[in-house]
Structure 1
Amino acid sequence: MNLLFSELHAALLLAVVTLGVASVCGLLYIRFRKAHFFWWAVGWALYLARLSAIMLYVPTLEPFWLYAHQVATGWAAVALLWSALVFSRGIQFRWPYLALVLFPPVWSWYAIYHIGTADRFLYAAIPAVVFLSLATLWTAVVFFRFNWKTGSSGAMLLGFAFLLWGLHHLDYPILRARGVWNPWGYYLDIIFILLVAGGILILVIEDLQGGVGALSALSGDLQRGEAGHDVSGALLARALALPGVRGSALYDRARGQVTRGLGACAAWEAARPGPAAQARIDEVIRSGLPASGSAGTFAYLAALPVMRQTEVAGVMLIVGDARDPFAALDLPFLRALGQQVGAALENADLNQRLQRRTEDLERLSVRMLQHQEEERRRLSLELHDETAQVFSAVKIQLGLVREEVAAPQAARLGRVLELVDEGMASIRSVTAALRPALLDDLGLLPALRALATDFEARTGIAASFTAPASLPPLNESADVAVFRAVQEGLSNVARHADADRAEVTVELADGRLCIVIEDDGRGLDAEGPVEEHMGIGGMRERFAALGGTVDIQGRPGGGTRLSLCLPLGPKVVTT
């Protein structure tokens, strides 16, 4: 009798522990609505039913309670196995699996009501024990495989717990059924259940951390939106870096095909994916909700709706062989991620279009500047070849006339000849300003040096010029842009700075050509916007078309510093 009460007390304690674990799994299911939590709760509820049946059988020895105990024991093992498979692989029910469900009631009925004699106990018990042990060991294998693929500590603990529990089941016909383990077998079961419960809780924590990590990883750079930033490529690469993920792809609803694929999904690019993936895509587009399932040779395929405003514009696909990385996240999180992905892709599309528009405008600006230079060249040639020649002819004729007239008239003609000389000098100055011959004949550096020398001669402002021995070969647009900017900068010094000295410095550094013009004048004052009265706007326009920058600022203690920088890239350097 003492042994009976001791066994009932141990079974009651085991039932209380099992009830607690079942309640926790039930609460997790209510909170997260994930299928594996449901099946864990079902498994522990069946285990609790098993304990209730054995506690009713021990004092009554009624065969029905023994039958109920055996069936509930087998179903509990199947439910725990199923929960492990649903958790790790998102497995779907198939009719052949029904054999696992039918074995416990069928064999238990045959063993208890048809065999049922003590001398044939092993014959009746061994198939049930082997089934129970194999189901439990199979559960251990599922978690060991999951640990191998993901490094999950919770899966490792669950694997060892179910391994030891499965081996412990094998002693039933030899020890437990003969009372050798009573009541210590119940306490050992309590240890196994607590280990399993601890593993489940660790899995939940890891699952949540992994889900948040996936959310963070996929949304890390989505809102950057810089021109040239490959948002879709970065998104898929981040997804591919998640544990157990083997491929990722983006499906465009408007095009009806996968527009980008990496890893195992690279073959889907510019095509329709397989039937399983297409079924998930259609489901997501129809419902607007995430979907998951198997995908041929892969354990799972996760499909996340990519939202643009309120419409499903596409689907993000992830395939792998361990576990859906979004499985732990609530639908609101997944919807938010889908909206963020959609917004980022839309921003990237807008940035690409803006970049193309900017490039078109830059090309147009370059063509306009080239056209202006062509007009300057044409005017320069016309002034040099035609107007200057006319002035020369007039000068010759006036000289001849002066030799033939009286002295008073000759003096007046001499004054006219001086005016003709001034006009010819003015034409030469305009011609040089329109298109300096040195820029065409000798190149940029000699032209800039001559510009500084001429500036000093014309204005009386001391000018120094510092430059490297040579420059990379620049294209015509870059040559002209630099020359015009230096020309305008020195002109500003002469007109606005009231300076005694100016310095022009040419530098090559960090893949850039920089020209700095500094003076010791009065600096920037309140004459008005610099862009307007100092021609900086035109400089910026020329340099922006070549990817360069223009910066002007006052110097400490007086003076102005004008910095002109061009990147030595394909827009600037000739090949």
Structure 2
Amino acid sequence: MSLFWRIFSLNAAVLTVATAMLLLGPVTVSTPVLLTEALVLSAGLGSMLVANGVLLRLGLAPLQRLTRAMTTTDLLRPRPRPAVAGQGEIPDLIRTFNTMLDRLEAERAASAARALSAQEAERRRIAQELHDEIGQTLTAVLLEMKRVADHAPPPVRAELHSVQESTRDSLDEIRRIARRLRPGVLEELGLVSALKSLTAEIPAHSRISARNRLEKDLPALEEETELVLYRVAQESLTNTLRHADARNVELSLCRTPSGLQLRVRDDGRGLRGAPEGAGIRGMRERALLVGAELTVGGAPGGGTEVRLDVPLRGQAR
């Protein structure tokens, strides 16, 4: 029976019962209305309204659950689908909504994969140009300045050495940026070494003490999974440097019963109710690509903790 006919039948039944009670029962209405008659009619009306409300509440409860699911759904935080329940068109409506969510999540994952793939390709191109063009140019400038400084008078030589140091610092910074754009150490030495290099590259002037707790005997991972783990760790450490005002940060990677867990924990100021920025949403999109779950919240004792739970192949969610 459709929802319309169910509600119509419900109200028709209530009105029919009320009419039958007035026609066949001992209840009469005098003019003017007596107090006892008013009480009986009020009680009857109240009973009918309560019965009608209860029945409608039970019949429309699945729609209310579906409405809550519609208002709270976030494609970056997949949740269990609403249970298919009810009668008439309601189960079909819930099934259609669940199918729509499946399609939207699949389309978002596909588009995010294309966008992130293009982003990684652009990062590699920029890193290559920084290394091959600007890096080589600055190296040539350093060699030329050294040659000039060797033949310059002492006062000018001191100034040239100062310029050499500034140029060398710029060259080191360009190489550091190129390494962040294209994690060559990830391709050459593996995930553990790449994660160690992230903490080793934290600038000394930041006064942040970084520690690693990385298991070495890790299972073989797909290239995409390793890249997601690396980028999430990289973004988390970058957020710590920029926003946390922390003194200590710990990066850990360990096995769990269902897969691997990456955790970045600091002792900084914490989230303090701040809305998620583009960096965290980007981490969530990367996590969805490998079926992982990203959790960002407060750390025990204060600070922020970013946790990425990655299921192993054959154990995907």
TM-score, scaled to structure 1:
0.38
C-alpha distance 517-461 of structure 1, shift in aligned 2 (>3 A): same
Partner of 1:567: 311
CA deviations on 1:391-412 (whole Å, 9 max, x unpaired) are 1111112222222333333232
- Does 2:277 match 1:532? yes
The whole-number CA distance in structure 1 between the counterparts of 2:315 and 2:122 is 22
The whole-number CA distance in structure 1 between the counterparts of 2:179 and 2:306 is 23
- Does 2:200 match 1:453? yes
TM superposition shift of 1:524: 3.0
Q: Choose from 551, 554, 557 the match for 2:295.
A: 551
Partner of 1:379: 126
C-alpha distance 458-434 of structure 1, shift in aligned 2 (>3 A): farther
Paired AA for residue 543 in structure 1: A
Task: Indicate the structure (1 or 2) with the bigger Cα radius of gyration.
Answer: 1
C-alpha distance 383-571 of structure 1, shift in aligned 2 (>3 A): farther
Moved over 6 A (4+): 223-231
The whole-number CA distance in structure 2 between the counterparts of 1:424 and 1:547 is 39
Preserved contact between residue 370 and residue 477 of structure 1 (Cα < 8 Å):
no
CA deviations on 1:515-538 (whole Å, 9 max, x unpaired) are 112222333336x42x128x3222
- Does 2:102 match 1:355? yes
SS in 2 for 1:455: coil
TM-score, scaled to structure 2:
0.66
The whole-number CA distance in structure 2 between the counterparts of 1:552 and 1:514 is 13
CA deviations on 1:445-466 (whole Å, 9 max, x unpaired) are 2111222233375644222211
Uncovered stretches (5+) of structure 2, i.e. residues with no partner: 1-61, 70-78
Q: Choose from 222, 234, 239 the match for 1:487.
A: 234
Aligned-pair identity (%): 34
The whole-number CA distance in structure 2 between the counterparts of 1:426 and 1:369 is 25
SS in 2 for 1:469: coil
1:212-227 correspondence runs (5 A): none
Q: Choose from 95, 116, 129 the match for 1:369.
A: 116
Partner of 1:515: 262
TM superposition shift of 1:228: 8.5
C-alpha distance 466-557 of structure 1, shift in aligned 2 (>3 A): closer
Q: Choose from 107, 129, 146 the match for 1:399.
A: 146
Aligned residue pair count: 242
1:121-160 correspondence runs (5 A): none
Paired AA for residue 436 in structure 1: P
1:160-239 correspondence runs (5 A): none
SS in 1 for 2:202: helix
TM superposition shift of 1:416: 2.1
Partner of 1:285: none
CA deviations on 1:92-132 (whole Å, 9 max, x unpaired) are xxxxxxxxxxxxxxxxxxxxxxxxxxxxxxxxxxxxxxxxx
TM superposition shift of 1:359: 0.8
Larger relative contact order (C-alpha < 8 A, sep ≥ 6)?
2
TM superposition shift of 1:380: 1.0
SS in 1 for 2:269: coil
Paired AA for residue 537 in structure 1: R
Paired AA for residue 559 in structure 1: G
TM superposition shift of 1:388: 0.6
Paired AA for residue 541 in structure 1: E
CA RMSD of aligned residues (A): 3.1
Preserved contact between residue 209 and residue 248 of structure 2 (Cα < 8 Å):
yes
Paired AA for residue 307 in structure 2: S
